[in-house]
Copies of this chain bind each other. A is one copy, B any other.
């Protein structure tokens, strides 16, 4: 619960209406009730507003609205996120090392940590202040976890990998599994030990059941602020730049370097040993087989400029009729050529 003026100040917005209004929760525009604040990020949804029963609304400048109160700001979506955070995330109280967990004697724990039952913390692990390990998290030997990071149930971090501060890892993600490296030895394969590590910088989020493989030698690195969705595969020795968005089920093959502020749509695949520039956006299901310069929007397998792909993919279904037309044209032209030849004889 918060006064509307507190929320307006929080997001740096202009308050319209009663500053003393009590706001209990955030709700979608079409479901908000009294005591709740809704938000309007896109004027397209304006038609929904007349039915709004919310007590207040977050919206961009210059839009009429039907509620008694509003917070007007340039980035209503961000303001929504900030207000939702303010109203819902209370600082949890540290619970310490709970019974049923197993923490090695040589592990070093910061202040105010919470370690739930079923966690196993290996030798020489270092855990920062305010860290929360939900049940059944496993940290192998020598792992480091920065301050205020949160590892959900069943996360595994293998030996010597380093996680930064304010990192969130969703349930069951695997950090530091062996990279997929085998040397052909006749028909069989000889395993290449994967003796490198994974480094995850501050403010990164990693999705459920995602896998970030450890490097063969050296490190796999996820830079600050990058957000990775569920079921993503990141191969050994990959480097992902800052503030990049990797949507669900993307796969990045080994040793590829990805720039900052990229966005890869769901189920995209990136081959190994590539360099992808900054601000590259790949639409869902893209396939990247070569280096990419920065500042591009691409689609397809292999990727081509998105607009070109859109047109080409719309033409694709016409391929059989095009082939038929082409074959007919060839006959007609042949006939014309023969007639022309005869006429000129």
A54 within 8 A of B: no
Copies of this chain assembled into the complex:
3
State whether A313 touches B322 (Cβ < 8 A).
Answer: no
A117 to B323, CA, bound (A): 64
State whether B154 touches A84 (Cβ < 8 A).
Answer: no
Q: How far is the CB of A96 from chain B (nearest CB, A)?
A: 15
Select A177's contact among B89, B152, B301, B343, beta carbons within 8 Å. Answer: B152
State whether A172 touches B187 (Cβ < 8 A).
Answer: no
Known interface pairs A99-B102, A304-B317; A340-B329 also in contact (CB < 8 Å) = no
21 cross-chain CB contacts under 8 A: A75-B183, A81-B182, A82-B190, A102-B117, A118-B138, A134-B140, A170-B178, A180-B230, A180-B247, A182-B227, A188-B225, A189-B245, A231-B233, A253-B266, A311-B319, A311-B320, A312-B318, A312-B320, A315-B320, A322-B326, A325-B326
State whether A158 touches B152 (Cβ < 8 A).
Answer: yes
A89 to B217, CA, bound (A): 14
Chain A interface (Cβ < 8 Å from any Cβ of B): 26-28, 31, 75, 77-78, 80-82, 84-85, 88-89, 99-100, 102, 116-118, 120, 134-136, 138, 140, 152-154, 156, 158, 168, 170-172, 174, 177-178, 180-185, 187-193, 195, 203, 205, 207-209, 211, 213, 217-218, 225, 227, 229-231, 233, 235, 242-243, 245, 247-249, 251, 253, 260-261, 266-267, 269, 271, 284-285, 287, 289, 300-302, 304, 308-309, 311-320, 322-323, 325-326, 329-330, 332-333, 336-337, 339-340, 343-344
Q: Which residues on B sit within 8 Å (CB–CB) of A205? A: 178, 182, 191
Q: Which residues on B sit within 8 Å (CB–CB) of A311? A: 319-320
Q: Which residues on B sit within 8 Å (CB–CB) of A308? A: 317, 320
Q: Which residues on B sit within 8 Å (CB–CB) of A27? A: 217
A261 to B279, CA, bound (A): 39
Q: Which residues on B sit within 8 Å (CB–CB) of A233? A: 229-231, 248-249, 266
Q: Which residues on B sit within 8 Å (CB–CB) of A231? A: 209, 211, 231, 233, 251
State whether B171 touches A177 (Cβ < 8 A).
Answer: yes
